[in-house]
Amino acid sequence: MLHLHTDTADLARLHPWLDRAATARALPQTMLHGMHVAIEEAVANVALHAFGPDQPGDIAVRLCAAPGVAALVVEDGGRPFDPAA
């Protein structure tokens, strides 16, 4: 699991962590590009919308994998998403 703060310097740790986590779980390289795009978008949305640009926050990211499948889980304590807003 990776614990991040919403500041830009800490978010830079995301991609190297994902590379190491994917390698440790023997995930195929063909999955990795899409995972990088998805996790960057998810974490950026949390940082911007759940906490706001000037509000610090914490984000936890984990990679779960089994043969033929992988899931990235992002958890935060920020404002919940309101689809009606």
For residue 10, the model assigns a pLDDT of 86
The string of pLDDT tens digits covering residues 50-59 is 887 778 899 9
Give CA–CA dist 61/44, Å, rounded.
Answer: 12
Specify if 83 maps to a domain. Answer: no
For residue 13, the model assigns a pLDDT of 94
Distance of CA 3 to the CA centre of its chain: 10
Q: Are 40 and 15 in contact (CB under 8 A)?
A: yes
- Structurally, the chain folds into a number of domains equal to 1
For residue 42, the model assigns a pLDDT of 93
Specify if 70 maps to a domain. Answer: yes
The string of pLDDT tens digits covering residues 6-54 is 887 888 999 999 999 999 999 999 999 999 999 999 998 888 888 877 7
For residue 61, the model assigns a pLDDT of 97
What range defines the domain where residue 69 resides? 2-76
